[in-house]
Structure 1
Amino acid sequence: MSVFLAVLLFIFLFIPGILAPFTASAQDETVTSNRVADQLSKGALAEPGEPYVLDSYCTEAFFNGSSPSDCRFSSGSLRTQLGLSSGYQQVNVSLRGNLTAGGDGQEALCWDSTEPDTGLVESSDGSCDTVLERGNPVPTSQPSVTSVRVVTIDGEDVTLFVEMW
């Protein structure tokens, strides 16, 4: 009887640890999310030679789903532009910030193309041409990984969020 209990105890204590390297974890999403955030903030959307300073024209085009030839990203789906494998990871990319002195928290941002005051606005402002968010909505019922970068666009410090699940 004691041999049986010892074998049973061994199975419950050691087998899960042996199999752990072969189970899925959030580590892949963490690495990929950081890679995508760096790719966008230092290269694809950034000014050449100035990491974390986003090009307004290319940033608006990226979130609009277009790909002008003078921007540093290719055409295609968001997954293709970010170099993500198909069917494996979901992604959401957004710019958020607080552009008003009296506001609190970070709001979703938009690009307003209306003359003469074109530029960055909070989505609650109502004058929004391009919402600066792309990808599927982040589910609240699943674990997700978020990478954050503070960037500058249109003279404003805002936050780039890359969320994966």
Structure 2
Amino acid sequence: MTPPRPTPRTRGRDDRAQTTIDFAVGAGVFLVVVAFVFAFAGQLLVPFTDAERAPTADRFADSLAGGVLGQADEPAVLDAECTAAFFATVQDGDTPPSRCAFGAGSTASAVLGTDARVNVTVEERPPDGDVVVLATPSGPRTLATPSAPTATQSVTVARRFVRLDGRSYRLVVRVW
């Protein structure tokens, strides 16, 4: 006669298939997956948080390069007097020439018609690759609006290549 097969009620503790090592490995894998989700889930949404500012920065760069700092019939060619007056107006409150598309005492935000914080810079890129911020002929003043974002603020940047006095420059618009 053969002995009876053990039933679930008659099995002993030593007959279980799960061991302490199996449990530890499973719990470790679970904790690693949970840590990965918490670490990277926030980064998955970052491209969508600045979605409203990206078109705004592009629109401002197009507006400045296409007519505010130059003539509408010659996009991306900046008028030297209007460009210098734009930065002087923003910094010192000087009066721009009448042909320019902005008035005295204007800020970059007022010229662009926005409540957003805006920083505009015109940069020269010489052949050696170092960026030089363009200085106005009247002195060492840089062609950049005075406000600048802090290192902790999220900034959207739009760039346009423009011509000024026959030379190539980069118009950089930062919105935050």
Find the counterpart in structure 2 of residue 34 from structure 1: 58
Find the structure with the greater CA-based Rg. Answer: 2
Identity of aligned residues (%): 30
2:125–2:170 Cα contact (<8 Å) kept: no
How far has the Cα of 1:98 moved from its partner? 2.6
How far has the Cα of 1:129 moved from its partner? 4.6
- What is the number of residues matched between the two proteins? 124
Find the counterpart in structure 2 of residue 163 from structure 1: 174
Find the counterpart in structure 2 of residue 56 from structure 1: 80
| CA distance in structure 2 between the aligned counterparts of 1:73 and 1:30, rounded to whole angstroms | 24
How far has the Cα of 1:138 moved from its partner? 2.5
For residue 136 of structure 1, the aligned residue among 147, 164, 168 is 147
Alignment of 1:43-122 (within 5 A): 43-65=67-89, 66=94, 67-75=96-104, 76-85=106-115, 89-99=116-126, 101=127, 103-113=128-138
The letter for the 1-side match of 2:76 is Y
Runs of 4+ in 1 over 6 A off after TM superposition: none
Secondary structure of the residue aligned to 1:60 is: helix
Specify which structure has the bigger relative contact order, considering alpha-carbon pairs within 8 angstroms and separated by 6 or more residues: 1
How far has the Cα of 1:105 moved from its partner? 2.3
Find the counterpart in structure 1 of residue 16 from structure 2: none
Greater per-residue strand proportion: 1
| CA distance in structure 2 between the aligned counterparts of 1:28 and 1:49, rounded to whole angstroms | 29
Structure 1, unpaired ranges of 5+: 1-19, 114-127
The letter for the 2-side match of 1:58 is C
The letter for the 2-side match of 1:155 is G
Secondary structure of the residue aligned to 2:148 is: coil
Q: TM-score, normalised by structure 1?
A: 0.68
| CA distance in structure 2 between the aligned counterparts of 1:45 and 1:141, rounded to whole angstroms | 30
Structure 2, unpaired ranges of 5+: 1-44
| CA distance in structure 2 between the aligned counterparts of 1:29 and 1:158, rounded to whole angstroms | 23
1:145 aligns with 2:156: yes
Distance 1:80 1:98, change over 3 A: same
| CA distance in structure 2 between the aligned counterparts of 1:77 and 1:97, rounded to whole angstroms | 23
